[in-house]
Amino acid sequence: MLVTGLEILAKARKEGYGVGAFNTNNMEITQAILEAAEAKRSPVIIALSEGALKYGGRALTKMVHELARDASVPVAIHLDHGHSYESVLRALYAGFTSVMIDKSGEPFDVNVAETKRVAEAAHAVGASVEAELGRLAGVEEHVAVDEKDALLTNPREAQIFVERTGIDFLAVAIGTSHGPYKGKGKPFIDHARLVEIAKLLGPDYPLVLHGASGVPQELVQRFRAAGGEIGDAHGIAPEDIQKAISEGIAKINTDTDLRLAFTTRVREVLNAEPAVFDPRKILGPAREEMRKVVEARIDLFGSAGKA
């Protein structure tokens, strides 16, 4: 059933578990997400970026909408990183129940003004709103404190930002970055900062973690073995994710892990069966591999059985 992002996340925050927001851009990914959520009896958020909408157009949004409505678990359809007011309006018109406006690259006052405008429009049609404060640049533990402060979410600013904009959930920059992490050392979550933000926003306020893929090393090894090139890729450790959920994170974004699962399985099938040329025999196994990834994430976040 189709619900708003806030309906899913308010309950998650209150009961202390996390909900996955998984990015889709085609039928197989969408089915993998929904099949996993239904098998685990978990609420789920399906995220579409502006790039996905450009790629899949009306065919994609109509399909996701139909499948979400038919699902036996609560599903929100969410615009990931909307960059303009117009982009958000298009998503709302297409039936999205949740939108993100990302003006985090703008100065604080501009971010507040533009986010507030989007929040008013989305709330007028009953959709929920996410915005971002701070930069998801990926900050390593050894970076100097003042340099970190310039990039990561300032707790006091977060409180003012939420009060002034009226958004429903806030994406925080606490060290993670998008994509498979390729920097030196290990990816890092600034737990003290997260705890401070959650304290100022209150015990019911849902926070969002971007760049939170796990990049399972088993998949990375299979990807390499099948001829893929990925370098020295890392994700966020499972225990770090669970700790962040206990500290206030309610929505955990995952895209990289699904891409990795999809491409790994496609490579393996094509390597093992050079004669195969039926797309279903290539994409079907990839869908199955992605479903397993989503199920593992749902178990990690603690949302199984919460539908």
Find out whether 209 and 253 touch, Cβ atoms under 8 Å: yes
Annotation marks residue 80 as catalytic: yes
Alpha carbons 233 and 197: distance in angstroms, whole number? 29
Shortest spacing between CB 172 and Zn ion, in angstroms: 11
Nearer to Zn ion, 210 or 291 (CB): 210
Alpha carbons 4 and 9: distance in angstroms, whole number? 9
DSSP class of 15: H
Shortest spacing between CB 210 and Zn ion, in angstroms: 3
Alpha carbons 134 and 125: distance in angstroms, whole number? 28
Can you name the residues that pair with 47 across neighbouring β-strands?
Answer: 23, 78
Q: Of 70, 80, 168, 255, which one is the catalytic site residue?
A: 80
Nearer to Zn ion, 209 or 307 (CB): 209
Instruction: Compute the half-sphere exposure of residue 173: CA atoms within 13 Å on the CB side of its CA.
Output: 23
Burial class (CB in 10 A: 0-12, 13-18, 19+), 169: buried
Nearer to Zn ion, 21 or 60 (CB): 21
Burial class (CB in 10 A: 0-12, 13-18, 19+), 83: middle
Nearer to Zn ion, 151 or 266 (CB): 151
Question: Could you tell me the two tokens for 66?
Answer: 């139909």
Nearer to Zn ion, 222 or 251 (CB): 251
Shortest spacing between CB 149 and Zn ion, in angstroms: 21
Shortest spacing between CB 244 and Zn ion, in angstroms: 15
Tell me which residue has its CB nearest to Zn ion.
Answer: 210
- Tell me which residues touch Zn ion (CB under 5 A): 210
Alpha carbons 274 and 152: distance in angstroms, whole number? 48
AA identity, residue 2 = L
Q: Is 18 helix (H, G, I), strand (E, B) or coil?
A: coil
Angle at which helices 155-165 and 108-124 pack, to 10 degrees? Answer: 40
Nearer to Zn ion, 178 or 224 (CB): 178
Catalytic residues: 80
